[in-house]
Chain A
Amino acid sequence: MKAVIFDIQRNSFVDGPGIRTTVFFKGCNLRCKWCHNPESQSLKPQIMFYADKCTGCGRCRGITAADTDFICFNDAKQICGKEYTVDEVFAEVVKDRSFYENSGGGVTFSGGECMMQIDFLYEVLKKCKESGIHTAVDTAGNVPWEQFEKILPYTDLFLYDVKAFSEKLHKEGTGVSNSLILENLKRLSGRAEIIIRIPVIGGYNNNIDELKDIAEFLKDIEFSKVELLPYHSLGEHKYDALNMEREKFSVPDKADMKEYKKLF
């Protein structure tokens, strides 16, 4: 069994408690307009091309996304996404075991939407959990409830994204309804530790009423904390490299962020 992974980042401080390794799965069933990892959306390996770095040497002639071993000497052409077996992912994850144990960290499966490759996710979670590694799943939650049931025994923590409460707004920003997402969150409540993550996107959901509605909804949910993630523009160049259209959003005001935090 294999999964398409586009990055394994060791020493992550931002994807849950302690020091973690974050495994980024390719493929997502949302199309968030502000997505800072647009290369995560497609399930398949893709070519990313940074035109400004290309010297026209021609070494990449005929290269396709399947040539995952190809190396461009100018870093202009990169193959994003590679197939991994469960054992290969585990071998990377287990390298930092001592750092997890000493810091209360572990592994986080993220994406894209890691739950789209649920069978693989189940196997790798099971393997990590059974070897004593703390496990977290970073999800947007837009998958059938049965998939949560499946991985619950091997998942210590969910990093659960809530992007909007208003269905209309959600659909507008992500392309999908949030009814399944919110329903899954209700069902998940009390069954595992949950950290709620809310991206705050200037020009999308950075209005106090929308965030108040989310806070109101969360009153019935058991979670350990809420993290507000302000929009950043660091992913913009990747849209160009993938030849994708991008929309312009803004970084929310710092003072506003402080106000928003008080809601949760």
Chain B
Amino acid sequence: VVSGDDLNTPQNIDKMVIAAYSALGNDHYTSPYSSMWPYGSVRGGDTYKGGDGPGDLSEFHLFETFSLNRPDNALIDQVWFRLYVGVGRANDALRRVDAMSATDYPNKVQRQGELRFLRGHFYFLLKILFKYVPFIDQNTPKADYPTISNRALSNDALWTKIADDFRAAATALPVDQADKGRVNRNAAKAYLAKVLLYQAYTQSENNAISGIDASKLNEVNTLCDEIIASGKFNLSTDFANNFLAAFDNSAESVFAIQYSKDDGTPKGRLDYGHALNYPMNQEYGCCGFNVPSHDLINAFKTGTNGLPLFSTYNNNDVAASLDFQSSSFDPRLDHTVARPGAPFKYKSTFLFQRSWSRAPAIYDAFASMKEAVLPDDPSFQKVPPFIGSSKNWEIIRYSDVLLWKAEALIELGRPLEAVTLINQVRNRANLSRNLLKTAAGSPTSNYNVQTYQPGVNCDWTPDFARQALRFERRLEFAAEGYHFFDLVRWGIASQTMNAYFTLEKSRVSHLSDARFTLGRDEYFPIPLNQINFSGGVYKQNNGW
């Protein structure tokens, strides 16, 4: 143990920057935040919570059903706290960096950029979970922390503060970093684009979309152009590469959390946010969480024209029939969803079994695969009873940048310019079949993906373009923890989720009491504990 002043040397400040980075991956299966799966996928209808039943991590069950959620849900409080630990580490280091002269500390500007990026990341996660959070920067004296309300800044001003962090980072950071784990200028621009895209959909107090800020969308478009033009990024040839440890920090990775093992820590600095999301077989053994929903599985269906079935995909429940040959599918299905009889994680001799599922009577027998690694993968690390890996987890990848640009263009009334962007993503999906084969060498499912060809296989109206973009995002990032936040950004969370519940509760029993309350459930409640600790300085969110 050391006192704070001993740390104000260039060497030690560099270490404080590392401590801030380390907060990126210091999450835990009880309240993940590297992966946002409980909040973004389970709440977004991509996946069921899974596990032993609703009683197993019951807090997540309350997320999943919305109607049961409460401000005293302890895991809402926990994720809030953990994210502020990240903010705090960034602020602590930033305060020290700011106080050094550039002569004593030549890395000063660059490190300021890195720390503001990290702080912006933690605030972004807080923002999409809670909407109104207290904003504290390195200049806020600690004694003042308790006086800063979560309503000190308006919804828009809070977005601006977060955008400011990434804007500053984009200016301060170099284009290239020797260390792959350090954030760079393009990563900052990308995150800035993401923030501005969220900010562009202006929200009223009751979480309804009150307008779209074209200037923000234009900036998103410009930023994405700059990233694309930098030539630093490419879509991986195979979609799978984004979910294989061997391809960590590939050309598609814009910003990823770096994990490691055999690194001198007790169990490794592992991807522990996903520690529960493996099947219940001898190779893994825990714990069957994040189970793809029927709705998601059906969403991968394509029509004879190779395009998604925006409104009719649920008509035939292939997740119930397990018939993946009569209909056609987007190959991303078999990158995302493990199902009985199909190879698990591209290994044709390692077939997912119904017996690998934990509670099929409740959650049916599927598993999410993007986060998983094979038991013989060098990145695999058992932490009995849980499962970890040192595989990186992507926060921003290049396909996201392409689709942000497409979204901005569509909302700017330039839908035609979005087609090629979406098609780049679809085209790559179509080409990502090499690993999706049975032991006999035949395709795991019947695949058929086509690009959008306006006037040929679709009528590319603005409305159609919007549906296409939104559907593409769901398929591309399925079960990765982003979908719900997209729905809220677009202002369609209530209608989407209630429609989902209406149908899905006929398929699984645990959703029978699920109901989304418009104007409330777009955000978590501010944790009751925090309101109490603040002595009422914090105000509760709308509807809670």
Are A and B co-members of a single complex?
no
Which A residues contact B (CB, under 8 angstroms)? Answer: none
Which B residues contact A (CB, under 8 angstroms)? Answer: none
